[in-house]
Each structure stands twice: as structure tokens, then as C-alpha cells.
Chains A and B, each alone.
Chain A
Amino acid sequence: AQSVAQPEDQVNVAEGNPLTVKCTYSVSGNPYLFWYVQYPNRGLQFLLKYITGDNLVKGSYGFEAEFNKSQTSFHLKKPSALVSDSALYFCAVRDGAGSARQLTFGSGTQLTVLP
């Protein structure tokens, strides 16, 4: 069985400071990893994905994520946080050889960027 853990329910950071939202995963095959962002009462928006290749993945809105195979982690990062980055962030994993249903989401991390 595959799983995703987002160990922090809430992350607070000051505007202009770097931010990190943590994600660890467990999957039997090669992981396909995703980050999504959700604003209040909206659907999820795709930020970035790791499939293969460079361990540092760049995505939308200045976000990036680092894939670490040995630590089974895929932390989301941004060098300088904006107040508008405040939202709920979800990490998700799919087994590279998996079936249609096998995309597992973490429980989400609420990011608050303080002005």
C-alpha cells in the first residue's frame, strides 16, 4: 500500500522568508510525486510534479520541490514567501506502475504567510 505523510498541519512563515512544506511518502514502485495548492472554497491547483530526472523540480508561482529517494521525501520550497501563498497544500503520490485509482493524497498543510 502507498501512503503520504505531511507531518505539519500548520506552517507559519514571515513574508520574504523561505518556506518549506514537508512531505514523505511510501510506495512499492517508482514514485510519481505531485504538489497541489487549494485556496478556500476552491478546487485543487497543480503546482509541480516529479517523475524522473533532476531531483529539484521547478513549478508554478516560484515553487520548487526536492526529491530525496533515500529519505523518501518530496518537500515543497520557495525562496521568498508571499502573503498570497497562504493556502492549503497537498502532497500526492502515485505508483509508477499503478492503476487508475492509485493517487494517494496527504492530509494537507495549512501555510500562513504573515505580513
Chain B
Amino acid sequence: DGGITQSPKYLFRKEGQNVTLSCEQNLNHDAMYWYRQDPGQGLRLIYYSQIVNDFQKGDIAEGYSVSREKKESFPLTVTSAQKNPTAFYLCASTRSFPGQGGTGELFFGEGSRLTVL
């Protein structure tokens, strides 16, 4: 079945450590996204990538880094510079956008919950 796979589901980190969250999709989607979700808040965009080897900062990119070496993969690294990393992280993808013949709806993975100890 096609979909988006995020791993790990739960992750614990000590302060000062970098951690990498995996996101893999087999939907053949060009665009991929990372969102952060905190209780009582909507989704906030961290980074997004429209094509391989290209990505842009979202609204809260500080303390995070990404890479897009393959179409299927868009890993997110939470660095030690991120002061409050405890959150639920969601990866998403979309096939095409308005203007490209699509509607831009997002397909989401099941999320990764990061807790800083």
C-alpha cells in the first residue's frame, strides 16, 4: 500500500543531542513537508521541499535541518540549537499544486513524538 512512513514513533533525547526523524513516501509525490504540532496549537511548518536537492525554510526552521537526496526521503534533524524540541512531528507530501493541475491536499504520516529528558 502507498503511504508515508515515519520512524521512530517515539523518541527520547537528552539535552544537547541531535536526533534525526525519518520520513519515507512511496506515493511518487514531488513535494514533502515537515510540521510541528504542540498541544492547543495548529500545525506549524518547519521545512518543505518541492524537488530533490532543494528545500526551503518554513515558519519555524531555527534549530532544525533537512536534506532531500532522494525523492522518497525527507529526513528531519532536530539539533541541539532547538531550545524546546519536545513536540509531535508530522511529515506530509502532496502530488501537485494549484496551477499544476492539482489541488494541493496533503497526505500525512503517523507522526513521531520527541521528548527531551
Contact surface of A with B, Cβ cutoff 8 Å = 4, 9, 32, 34, 36, 41-46, 49, 51, 90, 92, 94-101, 103, 105-108
Q: How far is the CA of A105 from the CA of B92 in the complex (A)?
A: 13
User: Is B64's beta carbon under 8 Å from chain A?
Assistant: no
Contact of B40 among A9, A41, A92, A96 (CB under 8 A): A9
User: Is B116's beta carbon under 8 Å from chain A?
Assistant: no
Q: How far is the CA of A92 from the CA of B88 in the complex (A)?
A: 19
List chain A residues, Cβ under 8 A from B88.
41
Cβ–Cβ contact A90 & B31, under 8 A? no
Q: How far is the CA of A96 from the CA of B4 in the complex (A)?
A: 25
Q: B30-51 vs A: 1/0 string, CB under 8 Å?
A: 0101000000111101001010
Classify chain B: how many residues form its interface, as a range: 20 to 34
Cβ–Cβ contact A97 & B98, under 8 A? yes
Contact surface of B with A, Cβ cutoff 8 Å = 4, 6, 31, 33, 40-43, 45, 48, 50, 56, 58, 88, 90, 92, 97-99, 103-111, 113
Asked if A43 meets B40 with Cβ closer than 8 Å, knowing A49-B103, A97-B99, A103-B104, the reply is: no
Q: How far is the CA of A96 from the CA of B45 in the complex (A)?
A: 19
Cβ–Cβ contact B110 & A42, under 8 A? yes
Asked if A32 meets B90 with Cβ closer than 8 Å, knowing A42-B111, A90-B42, the reply is: no
Which chain A residue shows the least CB distance to B32? A100
Asked if A94 meets B42 with Cβ closer than 8 Å, knowing A44-B108, A101-B58, the reply is: no
Cβ–Cβ contact B98 & A94, under 8 A? yes
List chain B residues, Cβ under 8 A from A9.
40
Q: Other CB < 8 Å A-B pairs besides A43-B6, A43-B109, A107-B42, 4 of them?
A: A32-B98, A43-B90, A43-B108, A108-B41
Contact of B97 among A45, A51, A100, A107 (CB under 8 A): A100
Contact of B48 among A32, A49, A101 (CB under 8 A): A101
Q: How far is the CA of A110 from the CA of B108 in the complex (A)?
A: 19
Which chain A residue shows the least CB distance to B3? A43
Asked if A100 meets B109 with Cβ closer than 8 Å, knowing A90-B43, A106-B42, the reply is: no
